[in-house]
């Protein structure tokens, strides 16, 4: 019997990068995965890969900034499967700019997607988790929470997620709900590729530069993050809550 057999895992941003890798990892460990993403198509591709590997997945299009859509998606999950055990909030975007060039829209879009979106899915999920006295919630922070030039919006959101993690761990702990976060460093995904394209730097060169200043001398892969998330939603970490685990090839990337 696999570790997560019988568990239902709801993921946002599951169509690409870290979310897709996490969906596949949790499914491989036995969970039934509800793979949601802004667009249906990438989520369906993740579900197809899960199905091809013998796992079980359901697909939903979901914009995490839409409170009614979030509540509805979580309610539909519980109606269909009768439970919701695991929530992993991976949805994310970048709108990098130095402060003097950062628009209200750059700020709002990033805060809404990362911070408010994570709040909305967590609030919806905890209704069911608290009632069943069981739940695992993982947010995705970032080394940028510690400060990163050109990312005032993103670093504020990612630092905010660390406060949200600790606070929800305190509030939900008495109901046997664990709340933790991972804080990845540079991970090879479409998000970091887009940074290279926008700044006119060759992606391979960017990765080599980041690797050279990372203690473990490489950049991360989505699976590196997915494996830590899998640990945090499994039974082996059941006494770990309110923690932020850096997955960054060193203490802070
Ligand atoms: P990614 O490959 O771009 O995947 C992010 C996914 O989130 C995309 O499928 C995107 O959809 C989706 N998304 C964007 N806005 C959304 C919304 N409003 N509602 C629902 N889904 C939405 O990025 P990633 O690198 O895997 O990032 C995943 C998470 O890890 C993010 O929270 C990111 O901030 C965090 N992170 C990444 C790194 C890194 O180096 N890659 C480092 C630290 C933290 P579209 O493609 O359709 O926009």
Q: Report pLDDT for 208.
A: 98
Q: Which domain holds residue 148?
A: 8-185+220-247
Ligand 1 centroid from CA 114, angstroms = 9
Residue 203 lies in a domain: no
**With a 6 A CB cut-off, is 196 part of the ligand 1 pocket?**
no
Closest atom of ligand 1 relative to the 39 alpha carbon: 47
Closest atom of ligand 1 relative to the 186 alpha carbon: 40
Residue 157 lies in a domain: yes
Q: What is the mean pLDDT of the chain?
A: 97
Residue 142 lies in a domain: yes
**With a 6 A CB cut-off, is 16 part of the ligand 1 pocket?**
yes
Asked if the model's pLDDT at residue 219 lies above 70, the reply is yes
SS3 41: helix
**With a 6 A CB cut-off, is 253 part of the ligand 1 pocket?**
no
For residue 179, the domain's CATH number is: 3.40.50.720
SS3 64: coil
Residues 6+ apart with CB under 8 A from 7: 30, 31, 32, 83, 85, 86, 233
Q: Report pLDDT for 131.
A: 98
Rounded average pLDDT over 210-223: 98
Residue 200 lies in a domain: no
Q: Report pLDDT for 1.
A: 85
Q: Determine which residue's CA is closest to atom 39 belonging to ligand 1.
A: 187
173-194 per-position pLDDT tens digit: 999 999 999 999 999 999 999 9
Q: State how many domains the chain has.
A: 1
Burial of 128 (0-12, 13-18, 19+ CB in 10 A): buried
- Which position has the token pair 């709002």? 108
Ligand 1 centroid from CA 174, angstroms = 31
79-107 per-position pLDDT tens digit: 999 999 999 999 999 999 999 999 999 99
Does the active-site annotation cover 134? Answer: no
Ligand 1 centroid from CA 90, angstroms = 6
CA distance 10 to 4: 13
The reported pTM is: 0.98
Asked if the model's pLDDT at residue 49 lies above 80, the reply is yes
**With a 6 A CB cut-off, is 12 part of the ligand 1 pocket?**
yes
Q: Report pLDDT for 31.
A: 98
Closest atom of ligand 1 relative to the 17 alpha carbon: 26
CA–centroid distance for 186 within its chain: 15
**With a 6 A CB cut-off, is 90 part of the ligand 1 pocket?**
yes
Residue 35 lies in a domain: yes
Residue 26 lies in a domain: yes
Of 65, 112, 93, 62, nearest to 190 (Cα)? 93
Q: Report pLDDT for 253.
A: 60
Asked if the model's pLDDT at residue 252 lies above 90, the reply is no
Residue 179 lies in a domain: yes
Residue 209 lies in a domain: no
Measured between its terminal Cα atoms, the distance across the chain in Å is 36
């Amino acid at each position: 019997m696999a570790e997560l057999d019988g568990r239902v895992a709801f993921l946002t941003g599951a169509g690409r990068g870290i979310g897709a890798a996490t969906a596949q990892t949790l499914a491989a460990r036995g969970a039934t995965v509800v793979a949601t993403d802004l667009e249906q198509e990438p989520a369906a591709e993740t579900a197809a890969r899960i199905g091809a590997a013998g796992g079980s997945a359901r697909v939903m299009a979901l914009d995490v900034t839409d409170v009614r859509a979030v509540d509805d998606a979580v309610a539909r999950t519980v109606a269909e499967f009768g439970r919701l055990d695991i929530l992993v909030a991976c949805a994310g975007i970048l709108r990098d700019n130095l402060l003097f060039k950062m628009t209200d829209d750059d700020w709002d879009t990033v805060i809404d997607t990362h911070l408010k979106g994570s709040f909305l899915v967590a609030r919806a999920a905890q209704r069911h988790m608290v009632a069943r006295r069981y739940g695992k919630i993982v947010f995705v922070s970032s080394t940028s929470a510690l400060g990163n030039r050109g990312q005032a919006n993103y670093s504020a959101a990612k630092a905010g997620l660390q406060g949200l993690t600790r606070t929800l761990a305190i509030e939900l702990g008495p109901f046997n709900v664990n709340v933790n976060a991972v804080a990845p460093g540079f991970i090879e995904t479409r998000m970091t590729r887009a940074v290279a394209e926008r700044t006119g730097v060759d992606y391979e060169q960017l990765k080599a530069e980041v690797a050279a200043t990372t203690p473990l001398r490489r950049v991360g892969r989505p699976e590196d993050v997915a494996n830590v998330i899998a640990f945090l939603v499994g039974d082996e970490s059941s006494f770990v809550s309110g923690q932020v685990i850096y997955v960054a090839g060193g203490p802070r990337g």
